[in-house]
């Protein structure tokens, strides 16, 4: 079983320390949610996991499938089976959703078998249609240029279709974009719920309590000031919805 293991992670942006000793393990088959107030480093964690060059890891480790991934490029991490959804996906005019997905899928296949000739096109088309049906998507979507003029909701659909096609072992979704409306939240949650199972581990990062009304996490973590300060089951999300974060702050203040 694949694990994503984050140990005592310290990350700085432009000399400022943002993550201050964060530890977390996500296994295949588990759904974890990270919540927390704005500015606590949630997106920093997501960008660091995907290997964004501006985020400097100054301590700790990130291992995936027992491999130290800190030295790996973002595309190498992806081919290994880690899926990182972009909060602000870029448009690629001229490349259709289908072509993009097929080349991403083929490069993943080549990791497993360097001699792989790529998925035959009829097989790919059939698979793509099945996945689009599962996600209740119009088949025309596959022929559009990736993210080119996509609405927020369509970008989310493209992201979830990517998840459904690439079948990663661990997916990290940063849903903190304040521009996301309730429909987009629903698209993401329905997609995750449709794909969840023993083969997929999910880490959803959100400041929307209500996302967790749709996605049922097994574990909920609260992040504050660059660390995970509280972990629990789904009931923790409900408690936060009712009581906010102040009780956690008080608890931390008492402890010091
Ligand atoms: P969250 O996603 O929890 O709202 P972020 O990870 O986006 O938090 O931000 C954490 C902190 O890092 C904030 O104080 C923010 O101002 C700072 N920060 C984020 N990105 C940058 C950047 N590119 N340059 C400088 N500071 C940044
Ligand atoms: Mg954020």
Cα-to-centroid distance, 36 and ligand 2 (Å): 10
Residue closest via CA to ligand 1's atom 19 equals 44
CATH number of the domain where residue 9 is located: 3.40.50.300
Cα-to-centroid distance, 200 and ligand 2 (Å): 23
Q: Could you report the per-residue pLDDT of 192-237, keeping only the tens digit for each? A: 888 999 999 999 988 777 777 788 899 999 999 999 999 999 899 8
Residue 23 domain-assigned (yes or no) = yes
Residue 238 domain-assigned (yes or no) = yes
pTM of this prediction? 0.90
Dist. CA 170–CA 85, nearest whole Å: 11
Residue 139 domain-assigned (yes or no) = no
Residue 172 domain-assigned (yes or no) = yes
DSSP assignment of 5-44 equals: EEEEEEEEETTEEEEEEEEEEEETT-EEEEE--TTSSHHH
What φ, ψ does residue 39 adopt, rounded to 5°? 80, 15
Q: Could you report the per-residue pLDDT of 171-180, keeping only the tens digit for each? A: 998 875 555 6
**pLDDT the model gives residue 87:** 58
Residues 6+ apart with CB under 8 A from 205: 33, 34, 42, 43, 45, 46, 172, 173, 174, 175, 176
Q: Could you report the per-residue pLDDT of 15-65, keeping only the tens digit for each? A: 999 999 999 999 999 999 999 988 999 999 999 998 988 999 999 999 999
Cα-to-centroid distance, 206 and ligand 2 (Å): 8
Residue 112 domain-assigned (yes or no) = no
* Range 68-74 contact pairs with CB under 8 angstroms and sequence separation of 24 or more: 74/50
Atom of ligand 1 nearest to the CA of 38: 4
**pLDDT the model gives residue 178:** 54
* Residue 107 in tokens: 């490069």
Q: Which domain holds residue 242?
A: 3-92+167-255
**pLDDT the model gives residue 3:** 93
User: For residue 76, which of 111, 113, 37, 120 has the smallest C-alpha distance?
Assistant: 111
Q: Could you report the per-residue pLDDT of 95-135, keeping only the tens digit for each? A: 999 999 999 899 888 888 999 999 999 999 999 999 999 88
Q: Is 193:164 a contact under the CB 8 Å cutoff?
A: no
Dist. CA 27–CA 110, nearest whole Å: 24
What φ, ψ does residue 181 adopt, rounded to 5°? -95, 180
Residue 190 domain-assigned (yes or no) = yes
Residue 130 domain-assigned (yes or no) = no
Dist. CA 42–CA 214, nearest whole Å: 20
Q: Is the CB of 87 under 6 A from ligand 1?
A: no
Three-state SS at 62: strand
Residue 158 domain-assigned (yes or no) = no
Count of domains forming the chain = 1
**pLDDT the model gives residue 180:** 61
Q: Tokens 């987009």 — which residue?
A: 184
**pLDDT the model gives residue 185:** 77
Q: Is 146:91 a contact under the CB 8 Å cutoff?
A: yes
HSE-up (13 A, CA, CB side) for residue 132: 18
**pLDDT the model gives residue 253:** 86
């Amino acid at each position: 079983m694949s694990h994503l293991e984050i140990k005592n992670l310290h990350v700085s942006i432009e000399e400022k320390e943002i993550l201050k000793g964060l530890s977390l393990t996500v296994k295949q088959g588990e759904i974890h949610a990270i919540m927390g107030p704005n500015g606590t480093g949630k997106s920093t964690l997501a960008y660091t996991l995907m290997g964004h060059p501006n985020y400097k890891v100054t301590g700790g480790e990130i291992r995936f499938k027992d491999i130290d991934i800190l030295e790996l490029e973002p595309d190498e991490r992806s081919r290994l089976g880690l899926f990182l959804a972009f909060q602000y996906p870029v448009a690629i005019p001229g490349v259709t959703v289908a072509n993009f997905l097929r080349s991403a899928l083929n490069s993943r296949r080549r990791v497993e078998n360097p001699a792989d000739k790529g998925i035959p096109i009829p097989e790919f088309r059939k698979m793509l249609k099945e996945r689009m049906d599962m996600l209740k998507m119009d088949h025309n979507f596959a022929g559009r240029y990736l993210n080119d003029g996509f609405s927020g909701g369509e970008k989310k659909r493209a992201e979830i279709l990517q998840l459904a096609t690439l079948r990663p072992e661990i997916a990290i979704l940063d849903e903190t974009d304040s521009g996301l409306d309730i429909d987009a939240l629903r698209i993401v949650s329905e997609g995750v719920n449709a794909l969840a199972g023993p083969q997929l581990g999910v880490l959803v990062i959100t400041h929307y309590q209500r996302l967790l009304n749709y996605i049922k996490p097994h574990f909920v973590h609260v992040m504050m000031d660059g660390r995970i300060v509280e972990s629990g089951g789904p009931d923790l999300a409900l408690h936060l919805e009712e009581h906010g974060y102040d009780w956690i702050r008080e608890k931390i203040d008492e402890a010091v």
